[in-house]
Amino acid sequence: MATAFASPASGGSTPRRSKPGSTLDALNFFLADVRDGLGPYLAIYLVAVRGPAHGWNEATVGLVLTIAGIVGLLAQTPAGGLIDRSKNKPRIVMIAALLVTLSSLSLPIVSGFAAVTVTQSIAAVAGAVFAPAISAITLGLVGPKLFAKRVARNEAFNHAGNAVSAALAGVLAWKFGPVVVFWLMAGLTVASIATTFRIRNDDIDNAVARGLDCEPEEGCEEPSGWKVLVENRPLMLFAVIAFLFHLSNAAMLTSVSQLLAKTVGKDQATSLTAACIVAAQLVMVPVAILVGRSTERFGTKPIFLLAFAFLAARGALYTVSNDPYWLVGVQALDGVGAGIFGALFPVVIADLTEGSGRFNVSQGAVATTQGLGAALSASLAGAIIVWAGYSVSFLTLAAIAAAGFTLYLLAMPETKKAKQ
């Protein structure tokens, strides 16, 4: 049986584990810029540095992101299953961080559509590990009662890390050019691996980390992963909602970065894209903390609806002006929408899968639909930009967000009430 969270009054045979706060804080901070790979900087590098002379435009960049996204999403559910079964989750995090970084560092020396697609696909497969691994490590360290608040704190430090790294990228790119983001990622990877070494694997309760009271070999019934997914209708609905959120959200920053590259040039575009990221991440930090404190009081549904409302508004506001400072200001709204989504995503899944022992594989499965939305978003936006321009693309993404809002409002139950 899992005894990691027994109270002192239970006999005291198993010591209470030390609080993992500072180590998890540092891990989420340093991994922030590593776990997502190059992100919008890839679009700037390929469009502005390689350019049409090497066969790169918005549509081809979108196709690379779509292919890599599909490869990554196919890895999501197996990644969740791997984390469920793993007895050494920190080691998996370290290996994944190395793979993402090495794939990104290879871009300045590889050329051609196929080579770039392969490197980004490898990064996408490795990146599929981070979300379930960090959630599982957190749950296994702090237990279910403290999980929602700890996840919100994880997100706050993740956003703070993104803000700091984006600010550094913006300052350094102004002097050294877009290639500086590759070396910044390498430094953050070293820091994240060093931090992961500080997590004692024995402190992680692997049964609690997957939502069980004990390990299967100790007599716990372990249901089929697919049975848990298919028979849980709210979980399936949440997967569709996650798909719509990322179909709308994923291409917005990439499209803005490409628009900036065309209007102000590649060097300023890299710095302004970094400013966009900093603006959003700085907003996400207090939003994540506020969500962690408000979930028990207000539930998950009204907060999630707020995320969709801000996402739709953001897409529409991008069309008002091409002024770089306006675009940076509008991008700050991503701090509300994406900040809420990141803080509530594992909490909603934990609510819907409590006691099943399939928390991480369920995260992977829902993240698969989320990744599908993100992958299709890049290709959809790129094609619309080439065909009808940036404004039509942004309005289409806003309409998708409005559809997600409506579906959540009419069909999704309140997970906190269902749990009580």
Please state the domain extents for the chain.
20-214+225-413
Count of C-beta atoms within a 10 Å radius of residue 145:
9
Q: Are 126 and 96 in contact (CB under 8 A)?
A: yes
Of 278, 281, 41, the closest CA to residue 158 belongs to 281
CATH assignment, 20-214+225-413: 1.20.1250.20
- Which pLDDT value is given to residue 372? 81
- Which pLDDT value is given to residue 55? 55
pLDDT values of the chain reduced to their tens digit, one per residue, 420 residues:
344 444 333 333 333 444 567 888 888 888 877 776 666 667 666 766 555 555 566 677 778 877 887 888 788 778 888 887 788 888 998 998 888 888 877 777 777 778 888 888 888 888 888 888 888 888 888 877 778 788 888 888 887 887 787 777 777 777 776 667 777 777 888 888 888 888 888 888 777 777 665 554 555 555 555 556 666 788 889 999 999 999 999 888 878 877 777 766 665 666 677 677 777 777 877 888 888 778 877 888 999 999 999 999 999 998 888 777 788 788 888 888 888 988 888 888 877 877 666 777 787 788 888 878 887 887 888 888 888 888 888 899 999 999 999 999 998 888 875 444
- Which pLDDT value is given to residue 416? 72
**381: amino acid identity, one letter:** A
- Which pLDDT value is given to residue 306? 92
**What b-and-e string marks burial along 272-283, b requiring 16 or more CB atoms within 10 Å of the CB?**
bbbbbbbbbbbb
Of 358, 131, 362, 376, the closest CA to residue 243 belongs to 376
**CA 292 and chain centroid, separation:** 17
Could you tell me the pTM of the whole model? 0.69
